[in-house]
Structure 1
Amino acid sequence: MDATKLRRAIARTRLAPVAAFPKRLARVARHDTKLLKVSARWLVTSREHHNYTYDLTWLSKNHLAWFVSVVCDTPIKQVRTYLQEIEKDDALRRHIEQTTQGAARRGLADRQVRYARRIGWYAIVRARKPRHIVETGADKGLGSCVLAAALLRNAAEGHPGRVTSLDINPEAGYLVHTAPWSEVIDLVIGDSIASIKALDTPVDLFLHDSDHSKAHEKREFDVAEAKLAPGAMLLTDNVTATNVLAEHAERTGRRFLAYRETPINHWYPGDGIGVAW
């Protein structure tokens, strides 16, 4: 009996799990060894302790382009152009690198600029041309600057807009204080729920990226609902952890779609973008 026939014969017996164990063990070992190497490298080379940044795989970027194309009803070629814009924005990259180098919190931030799924935020803003964006959770201000870069491009094409970035931490947003990005960003320090209630301008695009507990995320969307402009779009950066936005979309008669990113050479499995429209 040749090897192939022998394996097939064993597969039909009670010995099958025992015979398959070495192969299964080898596959797990290869996966875990790679992950350990990537994790060890990150511990030595990165300073980040949350809000991890990384690049996306080519395939993940392609899926992100199609995701934006669908939710924004925009041709895929145009979306790819938007993604290329943010990745080739040298002025923004220099600003982030230089500001991070001189920031008081530089010990917890990497100088290398890696946007991850935020390039999707950029493309959505370029496609939708919102007049008013509200982002909850500014942290360093990386996402705020990405949104601002899209708004500046929109303004140059005759579609001005502003982003209101909310954060409870008084030290948040150190990247947002430099022109031209600061010219379209309003940084508000305080509780996000109270800040949303105080908004006096209709919101065209609302992005949840603050306290990622299910209860708080739900409160933000519930409170934001009364502040939305007709046809507004809702985004969550918490889509891999909760079903809050999907449930909100169902209650309010919206469509919902989720995208999950795939990082390059990072121990973190990635996050994603949820959209209700």
Structure 2
Amino acid sequence: MDATKLRRAIARTPLAPVAAFPKRLARVARHDATVLRTSARWLFTSREHHNYTYDLTRLSREHLAWFVAVTCDAPVAQVRAWFAELDGDEKMRRHIETATATAARRGLADRQVRYARRIGWYAVVRARRPAHVVETGVDKGLGSCVLAAALLRNAAEGHPGRLTSLDINPEAGYLARATPWADVVDLVVGDSIASIRALDRPVDLFLHDSDHSRAHERSEFDEIEAKLAPGAMLLTDNVTATDVLATHAERTGRRFLAYRETPARHWYPGDGIGIAW
């Protein structure tokens, strides 16, 4: 009996789990060794303790391009061009590197600029051309810079817009306090729910990225409804943890899609983008 026939014969016997164990163990060991190497490298080369930054794998980036193309009804080639536009923004890249290196919190931040799923945020703003974007949760302001950069490009093409960034931490947003990005950003410090209630102009694009508890995420989406412009789009950075936006979309008669990113060369499994429109 040749090896193939022997394996097939064993597979039909009670010995099958025992015979398969070495192969299964080898696969798990290879996977775990890769994770351990990646984790060890990150521990000794990165300073980040939350809001991790990384690049996307080539395939994950391509899936994100199609995700934006479908949700924004834009040609996927144009979405890829918007990704490249952000990648090629050397002025902003140098600013982020310099501002990070000189910030008071530089001991907990990496200088290398890595946007991950935020390239999707950029492309959505380029595609939708919103007059007013609201984001909750700012932290260093990396995402704020990305959103502002897209708004500045839109303005240069005749479609001006502004970003209202809400955060409870008065030290948040230090990356977005420099010109020209600060020229289109209104940073509001305070509780996001109270700040949403105080908004005085319609919102075309809303992004939840603050307190990621289910209750708070739900409260933000419930509160923003009264402030939305016709045809507004809702985004969440919490889609890999909750179905809050999906449920909200169904209840309010919207469509919903979710994307999950795959980080390149990083131990973190990644976050995602949920969109309701």
Global fold match (TM > 0.5): yes
Instruction: Give distance in 1, aligned partners of 2:214 and 2:18.
Output: 43
Q: CA deviation at 1:181?
A: 0.3
| Corresponding residue for residue 242 of structure 1 | 242
Letter in 1 for 2:56: L
List per-residue Cα deviations over 1:148-172 (Å, max 9, x = no partner).
0000000000000000000001111
TM-score (normalised: structure 1) = 1.00
1:1-277 matched pairs, under 5 angstroms? 1-277=1-277
Letter in 2 for 1:216: H
Instruction: Give distance in 1, aligned partners of 2:265 and 2:227.
Output: 40
Identity across the alignment (%): 80
Count of paired positions: 277
Q: CA deviation at 1:75?
A: 0.7
Q: CA deviation at 1:89?
A: 0.5
List per-residue Cα deviations over 1:80-107 (Å, max 9, x = no partner).
1101000110000000000001000011
Letter in 1 for 2:105: R
Letter in 2 for 1:84: A
Instruction: Give distance in 1, aligned partners of 2:157 and 2:28.
Output: 52
Instruction: Give distance in 1, aligned partners of 2:34 and 2:74.
Output: 38
- Classify the secondary structure of the residue corresponding to 1:175: helix
Instruction: Give distance in 1, aligned partners of 2:231 and 2:187.
Output: 25
Instruction: Give distance in 2, aligned partners of 1:49 and 1:159.
Output: 37
Instruction: Give distance in 1, aligned partners of 2:76 and 2:32.
Output: 36
Letter in 2 for 1:100: T
Instruction: Give distance in 1, aligned partners of 2:225 and 2:266.
Output: 36
Instruction: Give distance in 2, aligned partners of 1:50 and 1:227.
Output: 31
TM-score (normalised: structure 2) = 1.00
Runs of 4 or more, structure 1, over 4 Å off, are none
Instruction: Give distance in 2, aligned partners of 1:221 and 1:55.
Output: 29
Instruction: Give distance in 2, aligned partners of 1:249 and 1:255.
Output: 6
Instruction: Give distance in 2, aligned partners of 1:77 and 1:40.
Output: 37
Letter in 2 for 1:227: K
Query: Structure 2, unaligned stretches of length 5 or more?
Result: none
Q: CA RMSD in A?
A: 0.4
Letter in 2 for 1:233: M
Instruction: Give distance in 1, aligned partners of 2:214 and 2:5.
Output: 53
Letter in 2 for 1:223: E
Q: CA deviation at 1:10?
A: 0.2
Q: CA deviation at 1:42?
A: 0.2
Q: CA deviation at 1:77?
A: 1.0
- Classify the secondary structure of the residue corresponding to 1:49: coil
Instruction: Give distance in 2, aligned partners of 1:20 and 1:215.
Output: 46
Q: CA deviation at 1:125?
A: 0.2
Letter in 1 for 2:46: S
